Amino acid sequence: MQNHFRRIGVTRFLAHSPDPNHPSRALSPSADSEWLGRTPAQDEKDEIIGMSLDINTGLPKVRTTADVKREERSKLFPLHYRIYDDQSQDIAEYIRAAFTEDPESIRRKDAYGFTPLYVAAAVVNVVAVRTLLELGVGSDVFDRASGDGLTPLMACEAKLRGERDFAETMLLSGWEGHREDGLRTEAMLKRAMEQGVGTDEQYIISKKWGCTCGKCAGGWLSPRTLNRLAGEWLFHCHIFARNRS
């Protein structure tokens, strides 16, 4: 990390301060924090260990060391992986059963510091988020022990931003607004953080098209843009009236 770039907290991001008196300037590269999201597994080479025929598609299916590691981790943290894989209504029953068997399971962190709530928020699993909050994991909304130092809400917001960026740059149809389950997930997490968001329906209407100020008409037309449009309309009305006279 040369040229005085230093890590932001324990995230993967680096930043540079132009202020020569900024505390980061006194921090040597060797003393800077490490990104907690980096794991030994990411430094290991992923190798092919076998190949079989997929009975559903008839296509060759490659098996790698990464597949084996994932299977091993899923046995240690079955709830996390079930939340990641299952977006159906069945996940609610699975979470409740896990809670009945082991009440600590719904708050247990995996090898990367992720809570079940964080995983649910990061993959926008609205059913899982609702169920976990109903079972009392509300304080986990403030947890930042993940590799990127993000809260569950931040992870959810990052997921929705990524979907928007992909749609706007890669899809011919363009972006069609944030999906409702993602906005419902955001609303539940913000409510758990005691942020006033109104009802889910109100939140969806106001945030559907990416409004960040909460004042946009229809969730997309900002007050500033509305004012400029009104000004343009009055100007052209004046020009039109003068030309007719």
CA atoms within 13 A on the CB side of 134: 11
Look at 76-85, 130-139, 202-211 and tell me which has the smallest mean pLDDT.
202-211
In this prediction, residue 39 carries a pLDDT of 46
In this prediction, residue 40 carries a pLDDT of 42
Is the per-residue pLDDT at 45 higher than 50? yes
In this prediction, residue 41 carries a pLDDT of 45
Q: Can you give the C-alpha Rg of the chain in angstroms?
A: 24
Question: Please, what's the largest Cα pairwise distance for the chain?
Answer: 84
Q: Give the count of beta carbons closer than 10 Å to the beta carbon of residue 158.
A: 14
Could you give the domains of the chain? Answer: 6-35 (no CATH), 44-76 (no CATH), 79-207 (1.25.40.20), 212-245 (no CATH)
Higher pLDDT, 222 or 198: 198
CA distance 173 to 3: 42
- Residues ≥6 apart with Cβ < 8 Å to 88: 127
185 token code pair: 């997930």
CA distance 88 to 154: 23
pLDDT average, residue stretch 235-242: 74
> Hey, is 32 helix, strand or coil?
coil
Nearest in space to 219 (alpha carbons), one of 189, 183, 167: 183
DSSP 8-state class, residue 44: S
pLDDT above 90 covers a percentage of the chain that reads: 43
In this prediction, residue 220 carries a pLDDT of 59
Is the per-residue pLDDT at 148 higher than 90? no
One-letter amino acid for residue 6 of the chain = R
